Amino acid sequence: MRLIHILLVEDNEGDILLTREALEESKILNELTVLRNGKDAIDFVLKNGKFEGTPLPDLILLDINLPLKNGHEVLQALKNNDSVKDIPIIMLTTSSAERDIQKSYDNHANCYIAKPVEVSEFLDCIIKMGEFWLSIVKLPGKN
């Protein structure tokens, strides 16, 4: 099994720690990059400025409520860019508002997950998400 590069775009420190813990528990070999605002996420994936030369992530976990650029803006910018539009983007957010769900799918999110409130449920959700996207699904350009 090869190493999977995951980009987590999240500004809540508790959710970052829980996601990191769940990915470790999942036993999926991964390199996790964490960015805390939407502008850096766009620049990272498009290799702009200080992120020039960074490797592309295999999978992006994206919160909606972010500083500088929100998750919807990040999703739209990345899915409208031909060079990176195939990278799966999972909206992982506390919002379960229908408008956020619809807007995410309108902008071509690969899936939408509302974060469970309970810690054990959140950990289980991340483990299952990781198993699905990183063990079962075949990603473009990856063997």
Mean pLDDT for 81-109 is 95
Between residues 104 and 28, the one the model is more confident about: 104
CA dist., res. 4 & res. 130, Å (int) = 10
Strands 4-9 and 111-114: unpaired
Count CB atoms within 10 A of the CB of residue 21: 15
Q: What is the pLDDT of residue 119?
A: 80
Transcribe 82-108 into DSSP letters.
TTTTTS-EEEEES---HHHHHHHHHTT
Report the CATH architecture of 4-136: 3-Layer(aba) Sandwich (3.40)
Query: 3 is written with which tokens?
Result: 């190493």
- What does the pLDDT look like over 2-19, one tens digit per residue? 788 999 999 999 999 988
Answer whether residue 27 shows pLDDT above 80: no
Answer whether residue 128 shows pLDDT above 70: yes
Domain definitions of the chain by residue range: 4-136
pTM equals 0.91
Range with lowest mean pLDDT among 52-56, 90-94, 117-121: 117-121
